[in-house]
Chains A and B, each alone.
Chain A
Amino acid sequence: MSAPLLQVEHLSKRYRLPRQSLLKPAPEVQALAGVSFSLQAGCSLGIVGESGSGKSTLARLVMALEAPSSGQVLLDGVDLHQLLPAELRATRSKLQMVFQDPFGSLDPRRTVLQTVAEPLAVLHGASVAEQHERAAEVLDAVGLSAADSPKYPHEFSGGQRQRIAIARALITRPRLIVADEPVSALDVSVQAQVLNLMQDLQDRYGVSYLFISHDLAVVDLVCDEVIVMHQGAIVERGSPDTLFTAPQHPYTQRLLAAVPGLQPPA
C-alpha cells in the first residue's frame, strides 16, 4: 500500500481550565487522548461520536489551527506542527475545511466571488484574472454558475450556501477536505443533493474527506472507514459495513441503538 495522505500519530490535546483555588494547579481536561489513524489519498474517513467526544478538536488539530499537546499530524509524510509559519502557510492550500453552518461560515458582506477566490488570493497570490477563471471553474463544479459571482450569501438557500462553501474549499485544489458536519444544518432533500455532490467531487478530483458527523447513516454512505470516538479516544474502527452491522464496543452499540427507527419499505 502506498504511503497514506494523512497520518495521525498518538495525537493528544489537553486544555487548561480556570484555576479553582490559588493553592492547587489549574485543572486540565483531556480533549483528545492518543488518537492514531491514517487516511489514503482519494478515500474518506468518517468520525462519529457525540458532543464532547473530541471530534472537532481533532478537526482543528488536523487543520493545524491549534497545536497538539503531543503527537503528530503528518500530511504526505510532513508533520504540520513542526513546520515554520511560512512553510505551514504554503502547505495550507492542500488542506481545506467545510463547516457545519452555511449561514455562519460565509461573510454576509462579501460577494460569492470574493468569498470563493479568497483562499487563492491569500495562499497563492493569484492574479485577478486567474481568480476569476478558477472561481468560475469551481462554481461550475459545485452546480452553481459564474453568473452567481456578484451575488451575496443572503440571496442563496442553505443548500446553495453550502455549495459555495465547498467551492471555496475546492479552489486551492486541496488533497484533503475536513468536513465538520457539512450536511447537518440542511433539509433532507437538500442534504441528499450535497452528499451526492461531495461524492461526485471526490470521483472527479480525487480529494480525500475527513468527514465528521453525528449521523451514522450519512457516514455509512460516504466513508470507506469509520472511527468511533468517545471521551477523546477511538473506541472502535472499521469499515462501515462491519462496524454498523456488528458493532463490538458497547458505546458503538448504544449509538446504533439510539438511531431513530423506521426501516423504509423496500
Chain B
Amino acid sequence: MPLLDVQNLRVALPSPRGPVEALRGVSFVLERGQTLGLIGESGCGKSMTALALMGLLPEGAAISGRVLLGGQDLTTLDDAALCQLRGHRMGMVFQEPMTALNPLHTVGLQIAEPLRLHKGLSRGAARAEALRLLERVQLPQARERLDAYPHQLSGGQRQRVVIAIALACGPDLLIADEPTTALDVTIQREVLQLIQELVREDGMGLILISHDLGVMADTVERLLVMYGGTVVESGPTAAVFKRLAHPYTQGLFAARPRLGLKRGTRLATIPGRVPALADMPAGCPFADRCSQVTDACRVAPPAAVRVGDKHDARCLMVEAT
C-alpha cells in the first residue's frame, strides 16, 4: 500500500460568482521515502493541494475525490480525527518562518507542544526531546536556544525550528510549502540539504512545493508541473527536464533567467497571464496562452499521454511514446 494515494482530488471554493474549482482532478501516488515536487506559478493549485492534504482548506471549500494516507481516506474524516493526524503523522513546513512561529512562546515550548499533545510526553521529557530535535536540525547552541524567542533567531534558524516542529512526532509525510523562498541562497542550500537528509534518515515521504525549477532539480525525484488546478505534466524530475513535453513546461523553462545569458538577451515569455479560477476554460487550462493551440484543445481537458517511463503530459499535441 502506498503511503499517500491521491485520486481525482477536486476542490471548489466559494466565490461571489458561485463555486469555482481550484483543483480540477489531481492524482498522484507517493511511496514511503520518496520525494515529490509540485511546481507551478501562483494560483496553479500547488498550495491548495497541500492544504487539502492537511485538511486545512478555507471555510466553505468543497472537496471531492480520495486522499488515502496509509489506506485511510482523509476526506471523510471529521475535524477531531484530522487533528489527531496533523502534526503527528503529517508534518508541514511553511514558507514564512516568522509567521509560522508564535512570537510569544519560546521555541522549546513550541517544539514540545506536538509532543505533549500527540505523544502524551511529560513536560520534562518533551523538553529533552525538543533539545534532541534542535540538535538534529543542526541549530548551533541548541541548549541555549531552547529558551530563545523566535525574534532572537535569524531567518534560517527559524526555519530550522519550524522543521523541528514538523518532525517532532516522526511523521510519515512531510509537506514543505516553499520552505526556502524567504531565505538567502546560501541558507536555502543548507536548509534543502537538511530536509533531504532528514527525509532519507527517517524514510518519510516528502512533498516539496516550489516555483523554483533549480530547487526542484536538486531536491526531488518526481515532479508534478501544475497549471490551472491540474497536473499538466508528471514524471521523474530528470525526464521532465529533459523532455519538456508540455508547452507550459517548455515556457517555464525558457522564461527562466540563467547565468551565462548575454546581457540584453530577451527572455522568452509566455504571453498573457494565468486565467482567474472563475474564468478557467472548459478545455485545456493553458489553451489561451499556448502557441500550439488548436480548436480541439478548447473542447475538453486533454487526457494524460504517456511520453516515457512513468512520465505523462496532458496535451493533445504531444506524441505518445
Q: Which residues of A contact B (CB under 8 A)?
A: 50-51, 157-160, 187-193, 195-196, 199, 214-218, 220-224, 240, 244-245, 254-265
Contact = CB atoms under 8 A, between A and B. Distances in A.
B211 interface: yes
A192 B261 CA distance: 13
Interface in B70-125: none
Contact of A260 (B217, B244, B257, B268): B217
A16 B128 CA distance: 38
Contacts of A218: 257
B58 to A, nearest CB: 19
A156 B270 CA distance: 17
Contact of B186 (A191, A217, A244, A255): A255
A221 B273 contact: no
Which residue, of B192, B264, B268, has the highest number of chain A Cβ atoms within 10 A? B264
A141 B156 CA distance: 40
Contacts of B255: 188-189, 191-192
A157 B264 CA distance: 26
B212 A191 contact: no
27 contacts: A50-B186, A50-B187, A51-B155, A157-B273, A159-B273, A187-B211, A188-B213, A189-B41, A192-B257, A193-B269, A196-B266, A196-B267, A196-B269, A199-B264, A215-B257, A217-B257, A217-B259, A221-B267, A245-B260, A257-B189, A259-B185, A260-B212, A260-B214, A260-B217, A262-B216, A262-B241, A265-B241
A42 to B, nearest CB: 12
B231 to A, nearest CB: 18
B139 to A, nearest CB: 18
A191 to B, nearest CB: 7
A191 B217 contact: no
B261 A221 contact: yes
A265 B189 CA distance: 23
A214 B259 contact: no
Given A195-B267, A265-B241, 5 more contacts: A187-B211, A199-B266, A223-B263, A255-B185, A261-B218
Interface string B208-227: 00011111111000000000
B123 to A, nearest CB: 33
Contacts of B274: 157, 187
A189 B258 CA distance: 13
A50 B186 CA distance: 8
B99 to A, nearest CB: 15
A217 B213 CA distance: 13
B242 interface: yes
Contacts of A193: 269
B256 interface: yes
A187 B41 contact: yes
Contacts of B187: 50
B241 A188 contact: no
B251 interface: yes
Contacts of B216: 262
A56 B212 CA distance: 24
A157 B41 CA distance: 12
Interface of B: 41-42, 155, 184-189, 192, 211-218, 241-242, 244, 251-253, 255-261, 263-270, 273-274
B42 A265 contact: no
Ranked nearest first, the 5 interchain pairs of A and B with the lowest CB-CB distance are: A260-B214, A262-B217, A192-B267, A187-B41, A192-B255
Contact of B185 (A187, A214, A244, A264): A214
Contacts of A224: 263
A83 B117 CA distance: 62
Which residue, of A187, A189, A217, has the highest number of chain B Cβ atoms within 10 A? A189
A192 B214 contact: no
A159 to B, nearest CB: 7
A188 B270 CA distance: 10
Contact of B261 (A187, A220, A257): A220
A113 B4 CA distance: 51
B185 A217 contact: no
B244 A265 contact: yes
Contacts of A190: 41, 273
A264 B265 contact: no
Contacts of B263: 220-224, 240
Contacts of A258: 185-186, 188-189
B264 to A, nearest CB: 6
Contacts of B218: 260-262
A260 B242 CA distance: 17
A102 to B, nearest CB: 12
A51 B155 CA distance: 10
B186 A262 contact: no
A254 B189 CA distance: 11
A249 to B, nearest CB: 14
Given A188-B252, A261-B217, A262-B213, A220 B260 contact: yes
Contact of A264 (B192, B251, B258): B258
A223 to B, nearest CB: 7
Contacts of A255: 185-186
A144 to B, nearest CB: 13
Nearest to A264: B253
Contact of A50 (B185, B192, B270): B185
A264 B256 contact: yes
Contacts of B212: 260
B201 to A, nearest CB: 22
